[in-house]
Amino acid sequence: MIPPTHTYILAHDLGTTGNKAALFDEAGRQVGSAFAGYPTAYPHPNWAEQEPDDWWQAVCVTTRQLLAETGVAPSAIAAVGFSGQMMGCVALGADGAPLRSCIIWADQRAQEEGAFLVERCGEDAIYNTCGHLPSPAYSAPKILWLRNHQPEIYAQAVCFLQPKDYIAYRLTGNLVTDYSDASGTLLFNLATRDWEADFLARLDIPVEKLPALHPSNAVVGQVTATAADATGLAPGTPVVIGAGDGSAAGVGAGVIDAGDAYCNIGSSAWVSIAADAPLPDPLHRTITFHHAHPERYAPMGVMQAAGGARQWTWNLLAQDALDLDAAAAAVAPGSDNLLFLPYFIGERSPYWNPLARGALVGLTMNHGKAEIARATLEGVAFNLGLIVNALREQAPAMRAMRFIGGGSRGPLWRQILADIFQMPVQTLALQGDATSWGAAVTAGVGVGLYDWSIATESAAIIAAAEPNPATMARYAELLDLYAATYRALEPIYARLA
């Protein structure tokens, strides 16, 4: 076992498919990681639930595995920190046990409650106060759904928690959350960094049912003796509350200073910047979360199907030996005037239309698999370009775009994005570890082991694409046509539904 002459940060990234635990040393180097999965239940259409005790078991298993595999002594852990899936709803009973499964972010059951929220508080007031448009995805409609449909559980609940906050509770016994996760509830005032008393009164939700608020880098307790027995950690180890996964990813990408920006492409995708103040969009195209940094905000736009759209096309077309990536790269920008709208599961930014659907527009007999493949990549990039332009109107200082997630591995997509964004697009070494590293940085800052600057310093650029002026002009023309195509199809989507 390594003696406690060095200090380490243990970061738990509590995702939708499982928990990743990672250890980082005092220089910020990752020395090990472990993963344990857990299931999601879909008991009814549009419902999605997970068991909080599954998260806890995953945290215990990965912590013990990581300590055993690395040989790091429990006493060498300077802090435990978190990132976590956001916009959930864990109803905690007075005995400290969950009263039911967690309603997770993907759940869409609370449609009527979202409408009730708008009726009581007003859509513009919610957006300008909380940074978001009302939707069943957020926590407040889920809390209201419990009150309407499972009133005995609502009445018994002493607190409604986010997933990572439940793990912090199991470790420390304290009911707390951070600003970033609170900003995904529709009950948090971004400007005052407090629960919005007016909304709580209008909705008749007692503030006592909500956890105490802290910056993401706050030490919120220590590992109890009971939690130490379960996890293998040392009793008294500091616990830092951490951040929601989107905010943690921004830290991991080194996006700390105002004007820094990053794009994440996984199954879905988002573009986010760091800002010194909330940046509401008059057209409601973008949303704003609180940043993991206590004095920053994270305006962003999120799209539903990005890597997922690419995967659909590749699954459909890659039925022979054709290398679709190479074939797409051989096609000229614009895919021979073929437009692909990637709205397979509706869309969030910039349109916020759950009825939107995918489309290929402009097909001719001359188009083949290569053109469709490139058009898919361009279609995702065009929608992200609309988000970038919306953010630019509020924050024109963006200088470059850092690129993380699985989609960032391909040089073609990187170049397409650079030409559409009209700025350099930089791929980072961290890739899928950005969220874990962001959680570690936030925890390290909380106990004084790191400074926020370590995030920027460690965001190593391994590849970059500079925009091509000739292609920029071509894509600027097509971006306008892409937006016009959506507007033309919008009434068709409503009729199809």
Tens digit of each residue's pLDDT (9 = 90 or more) over 411-450 = 999 999 999 999 999 999 876 689 999 999 999 999 999 9
- Taking alpha carbons only, the member of 199, 202, 198 closest to residue 186 is 199
- CA 181 to chain centroid, in Å, comes to 10
Q: Top-level CATH class of 254-429+467-497?
A: alpha beta
> How confident is residue 270, by pLDDT bands cut at 50, 70 and 90?
very high
Q: What mean pLDDT comes out for the span 289-295? A: 98
Give the pLDDT of residue 380.
98
> How confident is residue 396, by pLDDT bands cut at 50, 70 and 90?
confident
* Catalytic sites, residue numbers: 245
Q: Do domains 8-246 and 254-429+467-497 have the same CATH topology?
A: yes
Block residue for tokens 């199954």: 267
Say if residues 139 and 164 touch (Cβ distance below 8 Å). Answer: no
Rounded to two decimals, the pTM is: 0.94
Give the pLDDT of residue 2.
46
User: What's the CA gap between 184 and 182, in Å, rounded?
Assistant: 5
Q: Where are the alpha helices (DSSP H) in 190-300?
A: 197-203, 225-231, 245-252
At residue 262, the 3 state secondary structure works out as strand
Q: Treating both helix axes as pointing N-terminal to C-terminal, what angle do 111-121 and 139-149 enclose, rounded to 10 degrees?
A: 110
User: What's the CA gap between 332 and 165, in Å, rounded?
Assistant: 49
Across 133-268, the runs of DSSP E, i.e. the strands, are: 159-161, 176-178, 188-189, 194-195, 212-214, 219-222, 238-240, 243-244, 261-265
DSSP string, 76-125: GEEEEEEEE--S-BEEE-TTSSBSS-EE-TT----HHHHHHHHHHH-HHH
Going by the DSSP 8-state scheme, the letter that residue 263 receives in this structure is: E
> How confident is residue 397, by pLDDT bands cut at 50, 70 and 90?
confident
> How confident is residue 477, by pLDDT bands cut at 50, 70 and 90?
very high
Mean predicted lDDT score pLDDT of the chain: 95
- The domain limits of the chain are 8-246, 254-429+467-497
User: What's the CA gap between 307 and 325, in Å, rounded?
Assistant: 13
Block residue for tokens 């097509």: 478
Task: Give the pairing type, strands 425-428 and 401-404.
Answer: parallel
Name the β-bridge partners of 264.
270, 404
User: What's the CA gap between 421 and 400, in Å, rounded?
Assistant: 9
pLDDT at 130 over 60: yes
* Amino acid at position 101, single letter: S
| Per-residue pLDDT reduced to its tens digit, 328-386 | 999 999 999 999 999 999 999 999 998 999 999 999 999 999 999 999 999 999 999 99
Distances (CA, A) of 404 to 38, 121, 437, 462: 25, 36, 13, 11
> How confident is residue 174, by pLDDT bands cut at 50, 70 and 90?
very high
Better-scored residue on pLDDT, 318 or 496: 496
- Taking alpha carbons only, the member of 15, 76, 67, 29 closest to residue 441 is 29
Give the pLDDT of residue 406.
86
Give the pLDDT of residue 3.
43
At residue 400, the 3 state secondary structure works out as coil
| Per-residue pLDDT reduced to its tens digit, 6-52 | 699 999 999 999 999 999 999 999 999 999 999 999 999 989 999 99
- Positive or negative, the CA dihedral 361, 408, 466, 303 is positive
Task: Give the pairing type, strands 359-361 and 243-244.
Answer: unpaired
- What is the CATH code of the structural domain delimited by 8-246? 3.30.420.40
User: What's the CA gap between 255 and 179, in Å, rounded?
Assistant: 17
Q: What mean pLDDT comes out for the span 147-176? A: 98
Give the pLDDT of residue 483.
98
Say if residues 120 and 54 touch (Cβ distance below 8 Å). Answer: no
> How confident is residue 1, by pLDDT bands cut at 50, 70 and 90?
very low
| Per-residue pLDDT reduced to its tens digit, 73-103 | 999 999 999 999 999 999 999 999 999 999 9
